[in-house]
Amino acid sequence: MFAQVQATGTISGHITDASGASMPKVQVVVTEQQTGVSTTMATNSSGYYSVPLLKPGVYSIRATAPGFKTTVRSNLTLQIAQVLEQDIRLQVGSVQQQVTVTAGAPLLNTETTDLGNVISRTPLIQLPLNGRNFAQLGLLVPGTNGGGAGEVRSTGNANSTDRNGANIVADGARSSFNTYMIDGLNDDDQLVGTVKVFPNLEDIQEFKVQIGNYDAAYASGGAVVNVTTASGTNQLHGSSHAGLEIRFVHQSRGTR
């Protein structure tokens, strides 16, 4: 459970009618658009709903209640360790009538006070990285730097390591105080004070560097580097090097 909480996000909100009164027992369906996986719940007596343990991705919310038009909000981007607030006001009408709202610009985070930024999949794949080290992109977050002498040193005997470029110093704290996580699991190298397991760039969906005001559950004194790996979708996709020919062949009972 600890691992799931650290690597997932939450979608929550308040549902009201046209007059602003809270609406209990409204059916809320939260669906990840890439996989079609849905979570269904009902608002409580005060009209609030909260769907936790959602992996980062693009979601839609569907709210239905007898005597009111169905309201759908789609293309909502949920980032790692984010609480995404979506308040919904239902309009009087039949359930068969539908109001669809498509999300636009990224929403302001009004639910948490943590400081930091999310590095999305696009720069991970497109930017050239010496050594294919994802942590180098963590230095794009305001308030971070690479530390002294450009290298990470082990505890005690000060022997340098080959993990140069993985060092992140946030707001003057020691790099050995950082916490590294992959899908909610601790990824700290206790001897060196940096990343223990380096995931392949293609395996990363996104990662977040939090430099302050984060949840005490992380038990960290420096930056928190939280990585989430990519998962499958309901569409066939992939990548290849230039000039590589790819063929998909269906075989059934000896036919081709």
Query: How is the chain split into domains, by residue range?
Result: 2-102, 115-229
Of 28-37, 181-190, 197-206, 227-236, the one with minimum mean pLDDT is 227-236
pLDDT number for residue 203: 87
Most confident of 46-50, 74-78, 177-181, 219-223: 46-50
Give the integer Cα–Cα distance in Å for 193 and 226: 15
Q: Which CATH superfamily is domain 115-229 in?
A: TonB-dependent receptor, plug domain (2.170.130.10)
Give the whole-angstrom CA distance, residue 147 versus residue 100: 48
How many whole angstroms from its chain centre is CA 56?
Answer: 4
Mean pLDDT of the 42-55 span: 94
Minimum mean pLDDT range among 42-51, 73-82, 195-204: 195-204
- What pLDDT score does 64 carry? 95
| Higher pLDDT among residues 195 and 39, named by residue | 39
Long-range contacts of 122-128 (CB under 8 A, 24+ apart): 124/201, 124/204, 124/206, 125/201, 125/202, 125/239
Measured in whole angstroms, the distance separating CA 121 from the mean position of its chain's CA atoms is 11
Model confidence band, residue 54 (pLDDT cutoffs 50, 70, 90): very high
pLDDT tens-digit series, residues 227-245: 998 877 666 666 665 556 6
Q: Give pTM, 2 decimals.
A: 0.71
Domain at 2-102: CATH code: 2.60.40.10
Q: How many CB atoms within 10 Å of residue 72?
A: 18
Q: Is the model's pLDDT at 62 over the cut of 90?
A: yes
| pLDDT score of 45 | 95
43, 25 Cβ separation under 8 angstroms: yes
Q: H or E element: which one contains 203?
A: none
Please give the structure tokens belonging to residue 174.
């020691």
Q: Quote the DSSP letter at residue 162.
A: S
More confident: 1 or 27? 27
For 11-65, the three-class secondary structure string (H helix, E strand, C coil) is EEEEEECCCCCECCCCEEEEEECCCCCEEEEECCCCCEEEEEEECCEEEEEEEEC
How many other C-beta atoms lie within 10 A of the C-beta of residue 52? 13
Angle 247-250-254 (CA atoms, 0-180°, nearest 5)? 125
For residue 39, give both structure tokens.
């979570």
Q: Which residue has the higher pLDDT, 10 or 2?
A: 10
- Going by C-alpha positions, the residue among 85, 73, 76, 75 that lies closest to residue 11 is 85
Three-state DSSP class for residue 230:
coil
- Chain Cα centroid distance, residue 205: 8
| pLDDT of 46 strictly over 90 | yes
pLDDT tens digit sequence for 75-117: 999 988 888 999 999 999 887 788 887 765 455 566 666 788 8
Q: Tens of pLDDT along 122-170?
A: 888 888 877 788 888 888 888 888 766 544 544 444 444 445 456 788 8
- pLDDT at site 237: 61
